[in-house]
Amino acid sequence: MTNDVIIVGAGIIGAACARALASAGLAVTVIDRGTTAGGTSSACEGNLLVSDKGPGPELVLAQYAATLWPDAVAALGEQLGDGFPSVEFDPKGALVVATTTAGASRLLDFVATQCGAGVDARVIDARQALRLEPDLTPGIEAAVHYPQDAQVHPSIATQALMASARLHGTRLLENTPVLGPLFDRAGSLVGVTTPGGELRARRVLVAAGPWSGQVAGLLGVRLPVRPRRGELLVTTRMRHRILHKVYDGDYVGAVGSDDGGLQTSAVVESTASGTVLIGSSRQHVGFEARLRVGVLGEIAAKAMRLFPFLAGAAVMRSYGGFRPYMPDHLPVISDDPRMPGLWYATGHEGAGIGLSLATAEVIRDLMQGRATRIDAAPYSLARASLAPHLQVGRP
Amino acid sequence: MTARLLPFCADPVRPAPPTPITITVDGAAASGVAGQSLAGVILASGALGLRRTSASGRARGVLCGIGICYDCVVEVNGQRDVRACQRRAVDGDVITTQHDPLPGGDTG
Amino acid sequence: MSRVLVSDVLVIGAGPAGLAAASAARQRGASVTLLDASDQLGGQFWRHLPAVRPAASERVLHHGWATFVGLSQALEADSGCRIIGGAQVWAIETSAAGPAAVHVLVGEPDGVGRERLVFSGAAMILATGAHDRILPFPGWDLPGVFTGGGAQALAKGERLAVGRAVVVAGAGPFLLPVAASLARTGSAVLGVFEASRAPALLRGWLPRPWQLLPAAGKGVELAGYVAGHLRHRIPYRLGRMVVAAHGTDRVEAVTVASVGPDWAPVNGTERTLEVDAVCVSHGFTPRLELAIAAGCGLTAARFVAVDQAQHTSVTGVYAAGEITGVGGADLAMAEGAIAGHVAAGGLASDDQVRRAVRARRTFAGFARRIEAAHAIRAGWEQVLTADTIVCRCEEVSFGALCATAESTRAGSLRALKLSTRAGLGICQGRVCGRTVEELLATRVGDGGLRDQVSTDRRPIAALIRLGELAADHQGRGLSPEHPEPEPDPMKGTK
């Protein structure tokens, strides 16, 4: 088969890109060293958020994605039929709550910047917050309602996007790792070698999440993506008491930080199955996935601060994943000027699920030489903020 | 035609005479003996079902009896998700059976 | 803050293996901590009436009761053995440097605000036992369907008979003591239905019967059950399975059918029996979650891999009893004695454990034959209808499981668990996990499930309340109560 694109990575980014490219008529093969949604895409919350983003390119991408999700969910439902499990798209909105005066002032400053950038952020008082979330702690210093936020089941969404891509002709090769690059005489990347043989394409798109750095290394270039661990708790089923995605104002600070130590902040929401999902943590521990009781304890304590009734909730499971973290907190959605034929759609940190659809359209448009709907320059590998991190030999 | 405590005088194991206890299950009294699990008291009172499932509202009882299956979870004195087969009954315990509908589903 | 407790040897599980291990370790002078989730010693094998109901002839219901009394009373009187009941291990935290930390909740089962303890030490012995495997069939989710172990626990633990007219069904010699307990608790056992057929049993039980001579005790035990059956006139039928349970909100009847050598039901052989309880057991599933959390390697047959000293692949971690292979109490005690002896500094070649080593060889052989005779055979799947529930907690039917596998074309257990929810409910796959894996393995294309995920792995090994989990972090200014007065409603309305 002559491929137009080989996509390395069958997570949500790879699946969304495959669907966008295949439905534009390109011949696509997706390979993954494991299985579809086998990595971070199945180990996260399923966030479709604008609330946690200040003005900037990440917000622009998120707003672009927000316009795409409802139609995509409907289209997937039509295309895949009732027999396919629901992606559980829930436009529930978010409530961000500060319970300290310092947190409140930080939150309100942040909201002010968002309002100028087109985010529907409604500062509300404690009484209104308690009407939206009756079980919330009464100790509210500031609260903001973001109606635009939504949630989706990340693993099912990934599987749905991949199923759609395959219906459009995408070939999927699981348990197929990249071993090395294939170059033509001009030095352009024209494919990859795998245990099953050579795969050739005009372009290779690396969408391997936190492992994109390793894949890039196998191909011969440096990509400074690092894993940032996050842990989540799942409670037993209970009646529906938490109606939005609710998180404390600390989340804002945690997302944008570079601190290598442990950071936790409370994020609490219900799921379609009746459980309550509780996060979250950020830690640079490489790919070390071992259980950390202390981390879970901090997450638990902060969640109870938002919803005191959770003290009696029973945790039945905990899971964690590795966010793909870029040093300048923006994904890479572009070609690699250092190696013709090599492209990236990766580095989305904790926002990959939501940003996937917009990323896919940007990739599609760039690859076809068409105008992108948004300015794609901020996501280019060639951006100034990444330059120091691309030098060979830098840690 | 239900579960039944073997009367102690007919028991080849020759246990000491039992101390009766009473608990309430959804407001109705259920009698048992000291030392029994909540599951045992509920079963011997004539009820085989301890809860209703979330999606289809079907009755569930005790399956594994040793704390593995979590089918027998009940609310005990306000504590939810307590395995009735693992918790010993105390005189005066207030048991509420659980039925948690799914978000957006029919209310129980 | 959690209290951290240290002893030379930590034993998790106080059934036959754990008791033997604790005893052996004590004999070498090691300090021992023995944990069990129950408030009683004995595990499932020696489940007995509680202390508030002492019984003069408890031994009538048990095998080796005198052995249990000897072991347990010695340990209870031994100041070098710290016994903690109501101790639920909920996590094992490994670290790159040093021994694992064993996190425990002590208090009422599924309580709120239980005490948190952490155990650490040079040696840990996992003796977490096994639980019944029950294969699904139409109606198995009705109240009145119990596992064999459940019927046993109620019969031995509180002298409760699960029904007045009951049927015992499944596979394996465990069906016999279940029927005996029921009969001694006032039930009328209408029949014991064993799925394996005579030829399989003969092949499994009887080749080289002289090897069973050292297991004469086992022979006596089984002979006793058969004799008991004759006395109680309980029919014991081979090559039969319960293929359906019937009733509205509870079991009222079952259908029993003959099965072929592959366990596939034979049309036209169905018979219906009126019952008020059914007790089913298709062998045992080892409780592996703590061993997996501790990093122990598993065998291809999915038991904890151990060497001749009962040492696992993790330094300082030993395993004994059903988790190394299902083999009954005698094998468990032999393994436990060796594990305890070695964990406390001895060698498997020492004289003190020579008898245990011999016993282990004999009973392990017996165990392998039982497995060969009673192993689950794939034809059982033919009892399933599209509506038969496969994952009880999440109410996932066989039809839904197959339809999702087909529609998503997923090849991984992780993807299928997440999209069907099978195995993601409150029991975390303990009941359905192995069954779901086996059903999917033959219904997923390209050679079966393609990831290395298993349903045996549960980093959170037991329910823990959020308040208990947060306990160590409450002091750091994270009190859920906000001390300030009612906020000014005019604040933040811009």
Give the helix/strand (H/E) hosting B63. Answer: none
Q: Do B79 and A239 touch (CB under 8 A)?
A: no
Q: Which residues of A touch C463 (CB under 8 A)?
A: 236, 314-316
Is residue C120 within 8 A of residue C6, CB to CB? The reply is yes
Strand partners, A283: A229
C277-282: strand order across its sheet:
C145-147, C277-282, C165-171, C188-194, C236-238
Confidence of residue C209 (pLDDT cuts 50, 70, 90): very low
Q: Classify residue C455: in a domain, yes or no.
A: no
Structure tokens at B68: 């593995």
Backbone angles phi, psi at C118, to 5 degrees: -125, 130
| B vs C: CB pairs below 8 A | 182
Q: Which pair of tokens denotes residue B24?
A: 């309430």
Q: Cα–Cα distance between C233 and C174 in angstroms, integer?
A: 18
Of C282, C299, C321, which closes a domain? C282
Same domain, C252 and C322: no
At a CB cut-off of 8 Å and minimum separation 6, what does C223 contact?
A: none
**Tokens 């952490």 belong to residue:** C118
In a domain, C463, yes or no: no
Res. C227 pLDDT band, cuts 50 70 90: low
Number of domains in chain C: 3
Residue closest to A50 by CA, chosen among A143, A155, A149, A118: A149
Residue C365: name the closest of C210, C484, C476 by CA.
C210
In the sheet that C240-246 helps form, which strands lie side by side, from edge to edge? C240-246, C253-258, C271-274
What is the per-residue pLDDT across C331-385, written as a single tens digit (0 to 9) for each?
999 999 999 999 999 999 999 999 999 999 999 988 888 888 889 999 999 999 9
| Residue C237, number of CB atoms within 10 A of its CB | 12
What's the rounded Cα separation, in Å, for the pair A58 and A378?
Answer: 9
- Above 90 in pLDDT, residue C488? no
The pLDDT of C30-50, averaged and rounded, is 97
Tokens (6 digits) for B104? 């957006």
Q: Report the residue of B41, B43, B97 to disrupt the C interface, i.e. the one with the largest count of C CBs within 10 Å.
A: B43
Confidence of residue C202 (pLDDT cuts 50, 70, 90): low
| Total CB pairs under 8 A between chain A and B | 28
Q: Where are the beta strands (DSSP E) in C364-442?
A: 389-391, 396-397
**Cβ of C149 and B66 within 8 Å?**
yes
Is domain B8-100 classified as CATH 3.10.20.440? yes
Q: Is the pLDDT of residue C217 over 70?
A: no
Q: Token pair for residue A114?
A: 């968002």
Q: What is the mean pLDDT of residues C5-13?
A: 95
- pTM reported for the whole predicted model: 0.94
Mean pLDDT within B84-106: 91
Say yes or no: C321 and C200 in one domain. Answer: no
Question: Of A236, A273, A314, which has the smallest distance from its Cβ to B102's Cβ?
Answer: A273
Q: Tell me the C-alpha to C-alpha distance, in Å, between residue C418 and each of A187, C289, C408.
A: 43, 20, 11
Whether B39 contacts chain C with CB within 8 A: yes
Distance CA A133, CA A137 (A): 9
Residues of A in contact with B54 (CB under 8 A): 237, 274
Whether residue C212 has pLDDT greater than 60: no
Which band of pLDDT confidence, cut at 50, 70 and 90, is reported for residue A9?
very high
pLDDT digits (tens, 9 = 90+) for C127-170: 999 999 999 999 999 999 999 999 999 999 999 999 999 999 99
Query: Among A383-392, C384-393, C414-423, whose mean pLDDT is lowest?
Result: A383-392
Cβ atoms of C244 and C138 closer than 8 Å: yes
CA distances (Å), origin C93, targets B100, C97, C305 = 33, 12, 20
C493 in a domain, yes or no? Answer: no
Please give the Cα distance from A175 to C416 (Å, whole number): 16
Among residues C234, C270, C273, the alpha carbon closest in space to that of C252 is found at C273
Q: What is the mean pLDDT of residues C245-264?
A: 96
3-state secondary structure of A28: strand
Mean pLDDT to the nearest integer, C466-476: 81
Contact A323, A301 (CB under 8 A): no
Q: What pLDDT is recorded for position C474? A: 64
Q: Is B108 on the interface with C (CB under 8 A)?
A: no
How far is Cα C399 from Cα C453, in angstroms, rounded to an integer? 23
Inter-chain touch C487–A273, beta carbons under 8 Å: no
Tell me, what's the pLDDT at C483? 32
pLDDT at C74 over 60: yes
* Residues C163 and C259 reside in one and the same domain: yes
Distance from CA of A155 to the nearest CA of B (A): 20
Tell me the three-class secondary structure of C128-143, residue by residue: CCEEECCCCCCCCCCC
What residues of chain A lie within 8 A of the CB of C464, using their CB? 314-315
Q: Would you say residue C27 has pLDDT above 80? A: yes
CB-neighbour burial class of residue B75 (10 A; exposed 0-12, middle 13-18, buried 19+): middle
3-state class (DSSP) for residue C12: strand
| Residue B60, φ and ψ in degrees, nearest 5 | -130, 150
Is the confidence at residue B108, as pLDDT, over 70? no
Q: Check residue A276 and give left, alpha or beta (phi > 0: left; psi -120 to 50: alpha).
A: beta
Nearest to A312 among B54, B79, B104 (CB): B79
Helix and strand totals (H; E) in chain B = 1, 8
Phi-psi bin for A365: left (phi > 0), alpha (psi -120 to 50), beta? alpha
Please compute the mean of the pLDDT values over residues A33-44 and round it to a whole number: 97
Q: At A1, is the pLDDT very low, low, confident or very high (cuts 50, 70, 90)?
A: low
Asked if pLDDT for residue C445 goes beyond 90, the answer is no
pLDDT at C401: 97
Q: Are A62 and A53 in contact (CB under 8 A)?
A: yes
Domain annotation covers residue C389 = yes
Q: How confident is the model at residue C254 (pLDDT cuts 50, 70, 90)?
A: very high
In a domain, C16, yes or no: yes
Nearest alpha carbon to residue C44 among B41, B5, B67: B67
Statement to judge: residues C214 and C173 lie in one domain: yes
Please give the residue of chain A at the shortest CA–CA distance from C111: A312
| A97-106, A252-261, B83-92, C191-200 — most confident range | B83-92
Q: What six digits make up the tokens of A304?
A: 């109870």
Cβ contacts of A311 within 8 Å, gap of 6 or more:
A304, C112, C465, C466, C467, C470, C480
pLDDT of residue C210: 45
Please tell me the total number of residues recorded for chain A in this structure: 395
Shortest distance between the Cα of A238 and any Cα of chain B, in A, equals 6
Structural domain harbouring C409: 385-441
Q: CA distances (Å), A389 to each of A207, A217, C475, in order? A: 19, 14, 40
Q: Which residues of C touch A311 (CB under 8 A)?
A: 112, 465-467, 470, 480
CB-CB neighbors (< 8 A) of B101 in chain A = 239-240, 274
Q: State the DSSP string of A286-302.
A: TB-----HHHHHHHHHH
Q: Mean per-residue pLDDT for A338-363? A: 98
Cβ-based neighbours of A337, under 8 Å, separated by 6 or more: A381, A382
Q: Please check whether residue C449 lies inside any domain of the structure.
A: no
Helices (H) and strands (E) in chain A, counts: 10, 18
Question: What tokens appear for A311 in the block?
Answer: 């003290």
Q: Which of C402, C419, C441 is the last residue of a domain?
A: C441
Between B80, B81, B103, which is nearest A240 by CB?
B103
- Per-residue pLDDT, averaged over A342-356, amounts to 98
Report how far residue A245's alpha carbon sits from residue A268's, in angstroms, rounded to the nearest whole number. 6
Q: What are phi and psi of A197, to 5 degrees?
A: 125, -170
Residue A365 has pLDDT above 60, yes or no: yes
Axis crossing angle, helix A12-23 with helix A352-367, rounded to the nearest 10: 30
The residue type at C340:
G
State the complex-level ipTM. 0.96
Name the band, by pLDDT with cuts 50, 70 and 90, for residue C114. Answer: very high
**Is A238 in Cβ contact with B54 (below 8 Å)?**
no
Sort strands C188-194 and C236-238 into parallel, antiparallel or unpaired. Answer: parallel
Element (DSSP H or E) covering residue C407:
helix C398-408
Q: Give the CATH number, domain containing residue C139.
A: 3.50.50.60
Dmax (CA) of chain A: 69
For A274, which of B78, B81, B102 is closest by C-beta distance? B102
Chains that touch C (3 or more CB pairs under 8 A): A, B
Whether residues C44 and C121 fall in one domain: yes
A318-328 tens-digit pLDDT? 999 999 999 99
Best residue in C48, C53, C182, C251 to probe B by mutation, most B CBs within 10 Å?
C53
Q: C426 and B70 in contact by Cβ < 8 A?
A: yes
CA atoms of B72 and C424, how far apart (whole Å): 17
Nearest CA in chain C to B65: C150
Instruction: Give the start-to-end residue ranges of the domains of chain B.
Output: 8-100
